[in-house]
Amino acid sequence: MLYFVGTPIGNLKDISFRALEVLREVDEIACEDTRHSLGLLNAYEIKKPLFSYHKFNEKEAGEKIIEKLKAGKNIALITDAGMPVISDPGNILTKMLIENGEEFTVIPGACAFVSALVLSGLDSGRFCFLGFMPEKSGERKAFLEKYKNLDVTLIFYSAPHDVKKDIESIYSVFGDRRAVAVKEITKIHEKSLRFNLKEGLDGEQKGEFVILVEGAKEQNDNLKLTEKEHIELYIKNGMDKKEALKAVAKERGVSKSSLYKYTIEENL
């Protein structure tokens, strides 16, 4: 059996009893970075043979895992932090396991984007996890264009050296929206930074970030009209001046007093 085991994303205590039990009982553990994983394993006094499984050797290491499973071994796969497969190595392996008729299961654990969604305060009823954006600017723009009209919270992963570029790219395609950048999740310096895409993110960007952006709002064609045209439309539709001002002010997100001048100028 192959076990995909979720590991802590910051605080070493965020690991389940079941995960520790599996890590103690398997024959070998495949790690994204064996040196990094030793910190977790040593903390829980787990001594097992380790071997590397990362994005640069997924196919080769996957074949090695298949051989071990066929030989009757039980293998656990862990990444540096969080759930394997989710923006981490493992997706290629799931396909190889299915093709070879090998059994696998998951031992649930911490996942950065789920925790960030809770911390963000944005709509969690419906969301879309998009992971890391493409590196090339053309591919990045095309990628974002596919999702800009979704009316659900959009979630991205971002490396510290990409945060500024990622936010600028999102703004260039989505326009201004509310956003939250969450970092150091489960650690002492955990922070949820709320901002508008237009303003960007202030301060030093250290550590891995989860960037969450509110979904697209339903397009209101009335907002394409000038203020005067907008007011005239409602008056022509039977509203009196007071009702029209109130409706237009609400739709445009402005005060009624700021619109009153248009009724005076045009004798509405």
Q: Over 60: is that where the pLDDT of 149 sits?
A: yes
List the single range of 52-61, 104-113, 159-168, 232-241 with lowest mean pLDDT: 232-241
Q: Over 60: is that where the pLDDT of 69 sits?
A: yes
Among 202, 197, 203, 205, CA closest to 169:
197
HSE at residue 234, side-chain half, CA atoms within 13 A, is 23
Evaluated on CA atoms 238, 241, 242, 248, the torsion sign reads positive
What token pair was written down for 36?
């990094």
- Residue range 195-212: average pLDDT? 87
Q: Which pLDDT score is estimated for 227?
A: 86
Q: Which pLDDT score is estimated for 146?
A: 95
Choosing among 1.10.10.10, 3.40.1010.10, 2.40.110.10, 3.40.50.620, the CATH entry for 2-110 is: 3.40.1010.10
Mean pLDDT (the chain) is 92
The residues near 171 (Cβ < 8 Å, ≥ 6 apart) are 197, 198, 200
Q: Which pLDDT score is estimated for 226?
A: 84
Task: Tell me the whole-structure pTM to 2 decimals.
Answer: 0.78
Q: pLDDT per residue over 204-230, tens digit each?
A: 777 789 999 999 886 667 767 788 888
Segments of the chain assigned E as strands:
2-5, 28-31, 50-52, 75-78, 104-107, 127-132, 153-158, 178-183, 191-196, 209-213
Could you give the strand order of the β-sheet that contains 178-183, starting from the edge strand earlier in sequence? 127-132, 153-158, 209-213, 178-183, 191-196
List the single range of 86-100, 156-170, 229-243 with lowest mean pLDDT: 229-243
Q: Where exactly are the structural domains of the chain?
A: 2-110, 113-213, 221-265
Q: pLDDT per residue over 7-28, tens digit each?
A: 999 999 999 999 999 999 999 9
Q: Over 70: is that where the pLDDT of 266 sits?
A: no
| Assigned CATH for 113-213 | 3.30.950.10
